[in-house]
Amino acid sequence: MSGEADLLRRLRAMVSDPAARGLMDDVAVMPTMGQQLVFTSDTMVEGVHFRSDDPPETVGWKLAAVNLSDLASKGAVPVSCMLNYALTGNSGWDEGFLDGLGRALRSFGMHLIGGDTVALPAGAARVMSLTAIGEVPAHEQVPGRTGARPGDRLFVSGPIGDAGAGLALLDEGLKEPAELIRAYRVPTPHITLGQTLSPQAHAMMDVSDGLLIDAQRMALASDCAVEINNVPLSEAYVSLRGDSVEARLAAATAGDDYVLLVALSGTLAPPRGLIEVGRFKQGEGLTLRLDGKAIALPGRLGYEHG
């Protein structure tokens, strides 16, 4: 299997952290120094989490980005990662995938330290997992989903719905606006902002399945109610779909946003880079209020997959 030998050579060339042992051993070995380690893992499947015609560079970038976004939402500094990769019998695709993955790892200072490569039967859907490791200093809080309190304000770190609109465009065979396609294919994890917000966040996560469903999850975990009263849209989104209530509902249920969702004390001055989208209250459940009017919740709040 020269495909696998080639891939291993490429992977070894991507490796510099001594923890990786040059990818020549069966394990990676990382010394620790009392910090807290934060672990996250995401799997992407062709036809489910990315399109078969997405450029492989963007698939590699996205696999890193979705894991980095989870680290960002915990204020963690990216450290290292393990890749589980299924060879697809198309070495050009594999090469593009590793190029995109490597670019993301370099951009955010995350080191590849190990993993596994396997061969899938011919024709199988591509599948790949990344397990990412970040660190937070000892004794600093790592915000969860559970700490939001009545009176807290809820913020996001960027516009909602761009990625969903980009996917819809691709499904229709369209390529413009390019900004929306890029939001779907090459999301940017908000690593630095996550580190800044983490000490004061009552609760923090990223929006991966849709603003409504993820806000509902935070409220449920925190034993609060949440009212969403704003769905911030990008100019590109509005130019394509307008800003009607329907357009905002579509944005708020689309998923793949990879912006931070953070609950902060209602008395705190809103930090830069954040947009207020709602407020936590006593009680339970999710309500939606746009342009001052109560809006019935759509039947589907977002993606229910893991």
| Residue whose CB is less far from its own copies, 25 or 246 | 25
CB of 7 to its own copies, least distance (A): 9
Measure the CA–CA gap between 17 and 114, rounded to whole angstroms.
Answer: 10
- Other Cβ atoms closer than 10 A to 31: 6
CA distance 212 to 200: 23
| Strand order across the 203-206 sheet | 203-206, 260-264, 153-156, 275-281, 225-228, 285-290, 293-295
Between 114 and 166, whose beta carbon lies closer to its own copies? 114
Backbone angles phi, psi at 98, to 5 degrees: -65, -35
Under 8 Å between Cβ of 147 and 126 = no
Cis peptide upstream of residue 177 (ω within 30 degrees of 0): yes
**Quick check: 264 and 152 in contact, CB under 8 A?**
yes
CB of 27 vs its own copies, minimal distance in Å: 4
- Smallest distance, its own copies to C-beta of residue 241, A: 28
Give the C-alpha separation, 15 to 22, whole Å.
6
Distance of alpha carbon 79 from alpha carbon 109, whole angstroms: 7
Which of 147, 238 has the CB closer to its own copies? Answer: 147
Q: Which one, of 276, 274, 301, 275, lies nearest residue 287 by Cα?
A: 301
Shortest Å, Cβ 8 to its own copies: 7
Nearer to its own copies, 40 or 58 (CB): 40
Tell me how far, at minimum, the Cβ of 73 lies from its own copies, in Å.
Answer: 6
Q: How far is the CB of 49 from its own copies (least distance, A)?
A: 7
Q: How far is the CB of 240 from its own copies (least distance, A)?
A: 29
- Residue numbers of the site for its own copies (CB under 8 A)? 1, 4, 8, 19, 21, 24-45, 47-49, 70-71, 73-74, 76, 82, 84, 86, 113-121, 124-125, 127, 129, 131, 133-134, 136, 138, 142, 144-146, 205-206, 221, 304-306
Nearer to its own copies, 179 or 223 (CB): 223
SS3 295: strand
C-beta of 66 vs 165, nearer to its own copies = 66
Beta carbon nearer to its own copies, 233 or 301: 301
Residue 166 to residue 184: CA distance in whole angstroms = 6
